Amino acid sequence: MKLISLTLLIALGLSAPALADTQKAQALIDKHSKLPEFNNPGEAFDARACMKDKKMFVIPLTNSNPFNAAISRGFSDAAKMVGFQLRNWKTQMDPAGWIQGINTAIAEGYHLIDLQGGLPPEFLVPQITEARKAGIKVTATHNYDATTQKKPDFLDGAANTDYVTVGKIIAAWTIVKTGGKVNALVLGPDEITPTAPIRDAILNYLRDNCPDCKTKYINVPVNEWATKGQPAVQNALLADPSINYVLPVYDSMSQFAVPAIQIAKSKAKIVSYNGTPFVLDMMREGDIVEMNVGESLGWVGMAGTDANMRLLCGLKPVNQLNTPAYIFSDENVSTAGVPATFNDGYGDVHQAGFSKLWGIE
């Protein structure tokens, strides 16, 4: 019957309805369902010799976010491997705390300051300028997208993440699971630097590859997640019961989205990004969180350290982290640990990879 209908449409000079590209979406999912491989970000070098008289200062967006804390531990692990001084500053997403960190790094004679994990450097231009005048390199790790966002001129370097691919994976998953009948509620905090590339990649991928898909975006600032996250999702689901996916840009928002889905008696599923352990536990123990795109955050910290060392050592700069995105679903979530961790499930090829790259096998 479908073939006859299509033939009739062609005979009448009419075009057939556009179909979602589920084959393309499935190929993207398959690619990122394989265990990550280590690809050298640059040429090998003697990291110990280069870093013997240098020290690094890392300022995260906030230590209260386990995501940032896990990246900071990756920096510390790398510093121990190589044998140089590194300090992870303590902050609570407070600009005053970020400023105090920069001032401390200047006063204590650090050689490089890394603004880590979504901290918006634009808020700190005067302090960054002062640090650079003092001869300190200032960089950002896991902050900008590798293809759509440029490093601002007031930074010396940036080790960027392929956030666009993360967004495409999230969108592709929903297309495959619904057969191109997605009605998605997308959530994100606009004030965080990586939000825009992930959000736009989700929306654009659905627009370009799924003509019948529907989307709605709601901005929920980080400091309002606990008060406005659940009501925003709940109200949206009650207003449109046909919503079948809730897509938080960052998976920590799931703790507020899940109760909203339950209260609204919705059948919507959650797909998100970050691989946060408590969200992976929610996936393993429940049926609302369906898929999560993660990265080994210990790997992220080591990759950020690698980029910073190359900058301090006068080597060719590395502008993109070599940390692959990896899909967790019901099929493999148990490999992330019980309870889950930020580093289990990805394999450990990065540890041997960086050790060899830095000449410390």
Question: pLDDT tens-digit profile of 138-164?
Answer: 999 999 999 999 999 999 999 999 999
Mean pLDDT of the chain: 93
This prediction's pTM: 0.90
Domain 16-35+164-294, classified CATH 1.10.10.10, yes or no? no
pLDDT for 5 equals 46
- What the block records as the tokens of 293 is 């795109």
Class of domain 47-161+296-322+347-357: alpha beta
Going by pLDDT thresholds of 50, 70 and 90, the confidence category of residue 118 is confident
Going by pLDDT thresholds of 50, 70 and 90, the confidence category of residue 16 is very low
Residue 24 in this model has a pLDDT that exceeds 90: yes
Contacts of 145 (CB under 8 A, 6+ apart): 160, 161, 162, 163, 164, 194, 196, 197
Residue 1 in this model has a pLDDT that exceeds 60: no
Residue 359, Ramachandran bin (φ over 0: left; ψ between -120 and 50: alpha; else beta): left
Q: What is the mean pLDDT of residues 63-78?
A: 92
List the domain boundaries for the chain.
Answer: 16-35+164-294, 47-161+296-322+347-357
Distance (Å, rounded) from C-alpha 308 to C-alpha 163? 20
Q: Are 165 and 204 in contact (CB under 8 A)?
A: no
DSSP state of 343: S
Strands, DSSP E only, in 78-127? Answer: 85-88, 112-116
Q: What is the mean pLDDT of residues 273-301?
A: 96
Q: What is the mean pLDDT of residues 225-241?
A: 97
Q: 16-35+164-294 and 47-161+296-322+347-357 share one CATH topology? A: yes
163-190 tens-digit pLDDT = 999 999 999 999 999 999 999 999 999 9
Strands, DSSP E only, in the chain? Answer: 55-60, 85-88, 112-116, 137-145, 157-161, 183-188, 214-219, 245-248, 269-274, 289-294, 326-329
